[in-house]
């Protein structure tokens, strides 16, 4: 598969300069496609197209925008198996997970944007005037590889729903599903220039988007270090910056919880998507007296994880996305051993029987202290740290002792107690007793996990400006 063109102004166009990058299947380490690496000139062209299109999209009626979304949803549903398979090839998500979660959750964002748009009040009387909410303009969207289509959809859906236009840079590591997504938008009849896609790397295309004077807002999902760079570049043009960055989420298992069940569920949650999730509960906090029971439960949970060919429906964990990610995770696993943590399950190296692919052993460390690297750094792999505590206050202090604040987890049979603990966790989302995904609730972080929110009405309003008109209260 060679996808060497960019989607700009309603057409597939050649890049300004010829430079290509291979897309590698992380399960086989074989090339499955190629993309072109864009330049500042390509971003200029896309931004100009988006600016022209904004004159149309910003004036489009709610009914017209609902029509775009409806046709995108229909096209997405029709091609969902193809989209899922593409994500399996480009980033290694098991095909069952890619179908039921990766692709399906991406579709949810368009369904949710439709729901919000249909009921949203863009104008209302207030005081001696009227308050209007208007589309912010041209939006630069920079998305990661771990949920390649979900993160694209979580930004594109509200942007188009509000009447904005888009310049998208998907991850160069996993760009192929986004190229299929562009085909869906083209077939849906979205106005030319409303959606533009330029592939490329962060230092070139990403930075050009963040700094571009014709781009009014940048929405970025990725590492905290890259988010800081984006914000600095955006500052010169005083554009709005919305960011969803790193995480090191704590999972507090209170003494009254069903310990074995809570540990097993926590292990599975930490290993979902190969641990490549920004809100993974990678720090499990347990009553110190429950150490041995927790370790045994964790070993049992790890033993049920099935590594294998991600195209096999029975596989529950595939490879990590790249060699670079594999090496990073191996380094952190070794650091856990060097710093004296107890290896409960897994460990360094590839799993037995795997001689190719970026597969790692799902790993659990016990007796972890809060200052160890594995307890402080975002690993972005299937590595869990179990930390003991003696009191509820100590558990909350450990949970909050991090520069991140994306998510938290609390397990308890006493919902009132769990709620009080949840309120004290400094994070943008807290899940009680394994609560499921809700696309209408806001998603985003405190502290160095970002600013702004995605999903539902909160994500919708990130793409709107607020205008007061005085003297027309009627």
Same domain, 19 and 162: yes
For the stretch 188-233, pLDDT in tens is 999 999 999 999 999 999 999 999 999 999 999 999 999 999 999 9
For the stretch 161-191, pLDDT in tens is 999 999 999 999 999 999 999 999 999 999 9
The answer on pLDDT for 474 being more than 70 is no
Domain of residue 125, residue span: 2-245+448-470
On whether the pTM is more than 0.95, the answer is: yes
Residue of 139, 164, 270, 278 marked active site: 278
Same domain, 303 and 165: no
Same domain, 422 and 456: no
Residue 47 lies in a domain: yes
For the chain, what is the domain count? 2
Residue 443 lies in a domain: no
Helix (H) or strand (E) holding 156, with range, is helix 148-162
**In this structure, what CATH number is given to the domain that contains residue 138?**
3.40.605.10
Residue 159 lies in a domain: yes
Same domain, 205 and 329: no
Same domain, 67 and 171: yes
For position 114, what pLDDT does the model report?
A: 98
Confidence of residue 1 (pLDDT cuts 50, 70, 90): low
Closest to 464 in 3D by CA, of 120, 207, 224: 120
**In this structure, what CATH number is given to the domain that contains residue 352?**
3.40.309.10
Mean pLDDT of the chain: 97
Phi, psi dihedral angles at 145 (to 5 degrees): -95, -15
Is 244 an active-site residue?
Answer: yes
**CA-to-CA separations, 185 to 11, 50, 110, 373, in angstroms, rounded:** 11, 15, 12, 43
Same domain, 344 and 423: yes
Structure tokens at 216: 């009014």
Residue of 244, 378, 454, 462 marked active site: 244
For position 473, what pLDDT does the model report?
A: 63
Confidence of residue 153 (pLDDT cuts 50, 70, 90): very high
The answer on pLDDT for 78 being more than 90 is yes
For the stretch 332-360, pLDDT in tens is 999 999 999 999 999 999 999 999 999 99
Cα 316 to Cα 163: distance, rounded to the nearest angstrom? 39
For position 306, what pLDDT does the model report?
A: 97
**CA-to-CA separations, 53 to 46, 47, 59, 192, 463, in angstroms, rounded:** 11, 10, 10, 7, 16
The answer on pLDDT for 437 being more than 90 is no
């Amino acid at each position: 598969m060679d996808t060497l063109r960019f989607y700009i102004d309603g057409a597939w166009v050649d890049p300004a300069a010829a430079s290509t990058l291979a897309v590698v299947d992380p399960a086989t380490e074989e090339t499955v496609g190629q993309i072109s690496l864009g330049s500042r000139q390509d971003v200029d062209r896309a931004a100009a197209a988006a600016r022209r299109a904004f004159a149309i999209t910003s004036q489009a009626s709610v009914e017209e925008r609902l029509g775009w979304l409806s046709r995108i949803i229909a096209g997405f549903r029709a091609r969902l198996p193809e989209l899922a398979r593409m994500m399996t090839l480009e980033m290694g998500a098991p095909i069952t997970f890619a179908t039921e979660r990766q692709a399906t959750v991406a579709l949810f964002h368009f369904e949710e944007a439709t729901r919000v748009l249909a009921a949203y009040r863009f104008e209302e009387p207030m005081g001696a005037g009227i308050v209007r909410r208007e589309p912010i303009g041209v939006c630069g969207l920079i998305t990661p590889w771990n949920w390649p289509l979900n993160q694209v959809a979580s930004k594109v859906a509200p942007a188009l729903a509000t009447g904005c236009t888009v310049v998208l840079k998907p991850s160069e590591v996993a760009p192929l599903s986004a190229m299929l997504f562009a085909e869906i938008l083209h077939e849906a009849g979205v106005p030319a220039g409303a959606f533009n896609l330029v592939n490329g790397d962060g230092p070139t295309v990403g930075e050009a988007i963040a700094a571009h004077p014709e781009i009014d807002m940048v929405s970025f999902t990725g590492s905290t270090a890259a988010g800081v760079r984006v914000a600095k570049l955006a500052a010169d043009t005083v554009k709005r910056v919305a960011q969803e960055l790193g995480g090191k989420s704590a999972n507090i298992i209170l003494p009254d919880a069903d310990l074995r069940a809570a540990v097993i569920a926590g292990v599975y949650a930490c290993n979902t998507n190969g641990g490549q999730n920004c809100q993974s509960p990678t720090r499990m906090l347990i009553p110190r007296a429950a150490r041995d029971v927790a370790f045994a439960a964790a070993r049992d949970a790890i033993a049920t994880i099935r590594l294998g060919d991600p195209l096999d429906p029975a596989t529950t964990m595939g490879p990590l996305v790249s060699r670079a990610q594999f090496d990073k995770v191996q380094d952190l696993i070794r650091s856990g051993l060097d710093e004296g943590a107890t290896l409960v399950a897994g460990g360094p190296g590839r799993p037995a029987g795997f001689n190719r692919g970026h597969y790692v052993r799902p790993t659990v460390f016990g007796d972890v202290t809060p200052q160890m690297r594995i307890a402080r750094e975002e690993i972005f792999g299937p590595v869990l740290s179990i930390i003991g505590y003696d009191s509820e206050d100590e558990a909350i202090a450990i949970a909050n002792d991090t520069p991140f604040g994306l998510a938290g987890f609390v397990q308890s049979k006493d919902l009132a107690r769990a709620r009080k603990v949840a309120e004290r966790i400094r994070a943008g989302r807290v899940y009680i007793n394994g609560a499921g995904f809700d696309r209408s609730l806001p998603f985003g972080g405190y502290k160095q996990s970002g600013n702004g929110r995605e999903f539902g009405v909160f994500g919708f309003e990130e793409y709107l400006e607020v205008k007061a008109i005085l003297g027309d209260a009627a």
